Structure 1
């Protein structure tokens, strides 16, 4: 059976994340210690104890989620005695999860990734003054309908683009606050089931993030990138990539580009992947699988019990 390991993005963080893993598996504790050292920050304490307001700061959330995901991957390898490439045929991650995927697959070094995500979080936060940008979720409207709304708005109140195509009937907008609000009103007129502003600190995955993309281009320039053990299904292309220089470019493009998650899952289905296994905190990605491809199963591996169950299924 073909399997893909997938890695969550921002929004899955929670106080206490990773603690049960570190208590049960020394290899997980080593991952958290290495991330702390790379950042010269006690991120582990923040993950375990909070406060949630500080953990939710983008500069902390991104490396914390990555560390937890990579810890799960390392535990699976250590406990099974298998390489990641013997357990999965592809890796993919949602937004920052793409960095987790590349680290788990040996393309990026853990310490480099921690520093990159700290810089990415800071750069994304600084790119747009607080209050000027916004993101919104549209539920119950397919991607084609949302694209028509965005085209109809035609930048009348500023920039508004599709940031995330997550699943059938679940699309996220991003851009200038007034422009996003305008498209929400258009969506309500068209009978969208639900339209709501999201509690985020910046408008991710839209052209307003260009300063952050420029910063990541500079940050990534000197980082060593190896071919991943298994191909990455990239956010911005929804297709597989293994070439290090292509990956470097896509990580820059990803900051302003659309997260094509629905298309990525469909692509993996076309490659005969039958199971998506979400590694890390939360169950967001595994819960969406059946809404995208009814032939594919989704499961989440985040606790020692989940790890035991997964290893038993190998």
Structure 2
């Protein structure tokens, strides 16, 4: 069975770019008679906004994006992440690293394995890195075909637990996708580069990788992606239809006046029934053909 998911972080309300990712993953799952799961990626408390998790779920309901099963919160799975790290440390598949970003930047921008053989034992102020045994320099995207990843990035021993004690995104997302049985990840093109590391994690864990589909990023007038960090405008809960239609057009739908006149539930169901990958734009970044005020 196809199992897809939408996994927002509670760092603020959903914006137009988030809605595009939610819709794309929903349509891909439901057009294949699959399950669509929602996971809240709440493992970075300094970036989280109080009440954002509840607001995100309310927004999905307002746009008739109804998920299957219970919502999974990453904060409930911290023991599982740590258990996997402990296993890798015991097997010497992972190691402590005391290098700072400044040191890595001075060494050329990619981590060169300076701490790999130091056998550090004091975790205070150290990150944990996974030894890279399966470097992934390219992968096949369901829409875009073969996508490449910079060689230096592909070969790095990458961080699985940060110096501040928080778990790294790449580790958590792969362990959770395996835990939930996810078969395909549909998300924005800003996450193309991490895909290589995530595939390498599947291989390290002896698990079959998921397939990937990366959707075009919505960008603003300055060429920056619409994001919470860039203070993108929250989407409207009280009058969702105009934003829903804009997001569906962004994903390549041609929507007649008759369809646009239907209620939210019927528009979304029409989207499920008419979703095709070939309709997606080929570009990885797109400035929406309407004003930012309508996002």
| TM-score in terms of structure 1 length | 0.30
- Whose Rg is larger? 2
- Name the one with the larger helix percent: 1
| TM-score in terms of structure 2 length | 0.32
